[in-house]
Amino acid sequence: MKLIKEIKEQKELIQTQGRIIKKRDLGKIFFLELSDFTGSIQVVVEKPELLTKLQDLHPETIISLSALVKKSPSDKPELHAQSLEIISAVEEVPDLELQSKEIKENLDTQLKHRAIGLRHKKNKAIFKVQAKILEAYREFMTNLGCTEIFTPLLLASSSEGGAEIFHVDYFEKQATLAQSAQLYKQIMVGVFDRVFGLSKCFRAELSNTRRHLTEGSQLEFEFGYIEGLETILKHEEAALRHILKKVYKDCQVEMQTLKAQELMVPKETFPTYSFKEACQVLTEKFNIDTLEWDDLSTEAEKLLCQYARETYKSDFIFITHIPKGAFYAFRDDNGIIHNVDLLCKEMEISSGGRRIDDYDQLRMSIMAAGMDPKDFSEYLSIFKFGMPAHGGFGLGLERLTMLICNQDNIRQTTLFPSDPKRVASQQL
Ligand code: 4AD
Ligand code: MG
């Protein structure tokens, strides 16, 4: 059996198999577009006994055939079927149109039939790009000396604080779903110094927006012996530059299919503004009153991205020292938090920062957040046994994919999205 990309003109019959993507019925002759993961090829079917076999079949049918390879009028190899076997017959029309250039159905309908809809060329392009992002991230992090880790998703208590926690029945007891890999990636810095991973995060947030999921994925990074927040910014920026370079080099066809323009990356380092400086920009340039703010609003994020694009020709901007910080975020003697959000194009795509590395401070911070240090005893124990200055970030994989692929809804860049109305793409 030959893969489609291996098919070249030759004298002997070749055997191949694949999925019929298109069928053109001209009566005494059929033209099929046959595809496998390596590409697609035109098949000409003229023999009457083969035509009868195909008569009532629809695209998506799986066939195997033996054929002669000839040159098509457009100078590409073309198959002329000599015998043909139906491996998996499709006798009905799917609920979604898979052959159309653009996806025609609205998002609700698309998600209702997600399993089939993912076969559309545009959806395949999105998830090819996503896979490339992951490949590039793994490559970058491995080269940096980071060890890849998988952290638990079933937890006894909170990992980020706040109320956005899913509780699950766990035999006679209750467990929670991880809000992030935060505590475990810190624990693993105590083991390997430098770690990274791809982790799921579950957020019980009633946010029906185009950028929120209840089950998301984060590109995680945690790094020991940092010199300060700058170390995190430096590695995060380099990781993103590496991802973009690889995607734009290896996914040109997909980017064209998606009509996605390259994100703007400045020649110099990404613009970096402290929260205070960002608020000044918002007030001076956009006339926004930020006096009471401890975090950026969605609108403010959008405006700061616009500002970065106009001023620095950059789709990326770091905002540091945001007053609203997680319980594990490091505060200096002036009470300033050493954290950072990365904004891209219009929204936050990652959060990160230096972490508290002092046992007593961390214990107090947990209590100040209204939580019980007893629930964190395993995590807290590492700070009694030597922890270097450390920090990292969590970067939303679906949001990054959405911005690279020029999609306007995060559900389009999640294979089987969960949100307040759906679980794994199916409406509740
Ligand atoms: O900003 P978040 O909540 O930060 C953390 O989880 C920290 N543990 C990160 C760290 O290392 N300090 O989440 C990080 C990123 C967000 O910027 C966003 O891109 C994505 O994860 N994210 C979500 N994406 C979609 N839907 C949601 N509900 C998301 N929550 C977070
Ligand atoms: Mg955040």
Report the pLDDT value the prediction gives residue 266, as an integer from 0 to 100. 97
Query: Across 74-143, where does the E strand assignment appear?
Result: 77-88
Residues whose CB falls within 8 Å of the CB of residue 162, separated by 6 or more in sequence, listed in order: 179
CA–CA gap between residue 400 and residue 406 (Å, rounded) = 10
Residue 393 in contact with ligand 1 by CB distance below 6 A: yes
218 lines ligand 1 (CB under 6 A): yes
Q: What is the residue type of 316? A: F
Give the model's pLDDT for residue 10.
Answer: 82
Q: Which two tokens stand for residue 85?
A: 């076997």
Phi, psi of 291 (to 5 degrees): -50, -45
Output the CA 352–ligand 2 centroid distance in Å. 8
What is d(CA 231, CA 143) in angstroms, rounded to the nearest whole number?
A: 16
Q: Give the DSSP H or E segment for 182.
A: helix 182-192
Q: Which atom of ligand 1 is nearest to the CA of 353?
A: 12
Three-state DSSP state, 285: helix
The Cα 346–Cα 333 span in angstroms is 33
- Say if ligand 1 is within 6 A of residue 351 CB: yes
How far apart CA 232 and CA 279 sit, in angstroms, is 22
**Protein residue whose Cα sits closest to atom 3 of ligand 1:** 351
Q: With a 6 A CB cut-off, is 352 part of the ligand 1 pocket?
A: yes
Alpha-carbon gap, residue 393 to 316, rounded angstroms:
15
By the 8 A CB rule, do 179 and 224 touch?
Answer: no
Residue 364 pLDDT? 97
Q: How far is CA 368 from CA 163, 326, 420, in A?
A: 15, 11, 30
Q: Of the bound ligands, which one is closest to the alpha carbon of residue 200? A: 1
Sheet containing strand 147-148, strands side by side: 147-148, 194-202, 215-224, 390-396, 347-354, 339-344, 316-320, 272-274
Name residues whose C-beta falls within 8 Å of residue 234's C-beta, 6 or more positions apart in sequence.
none
What is the pLDDT tens value at each position of the chain, 428 positions in all? 999 999 998 889 999 999 999 999 998 999 999 999 999 999 999 999 999 999 999 999 999 999 999 998 888 999 999 999 999 999 999 899 999 999 999 999 999 999 999 999 999 999 999 999 999 999 999 999 999 999 999 999 877 877 799 999 999 999 999 999 999 999 999 999 999 999 999 999 999 999 999 999 999 999 999 999 999 999 999 999 999 999 999 999 999 999 999 999 999 999 999 999 999 999 999 999 999 999 999 999 999 999 999 999 999 999 999 999 999 999 999 999 999 999 999 999 999 999 999 999 999 999 999 999 999 999 999 999 999 999 999 999 999 999 999 999 999 999 999 999 999 999 99
CA distance 78 to 68: 8
205 ligand 1 Cβ < 6 A = yes
Contact 8, 67 (CB under 8 A): no
Place of tokens 């019929």: 20
Looking at residue 96, its pLDDT comes to 93
The CA 411 to ligand 1 mean position distance, Å, reads 16
Q: Which atom of ligand 1 has the smallest separation from the CA of 350? A: 17
Which residue's alpha carbon is at the smallest distance from atom 21 of ligand 1?
396
Helix, strand, coil in percent for the chain, rounding step 5: 35, 30, 40
Atom nearest to 180 CA in ligand 1: 6
Distance CA 211, CA 322 (A): 21
What integer pLDDT is reported at residue 124 of this predicted model? 98
Q: Are 255 and 303 in contact (CB under 8 A)?
A: no
CA atoms of 150 and 184, how far apart (whole Å) = 9
Q: Give the H/E segment covering residue 192.
A: helix 182-192
CB atoms within 10 A of CB 167: 10
pLDDT at 73: 86
Strands 147-148 and 167-170: unpaired
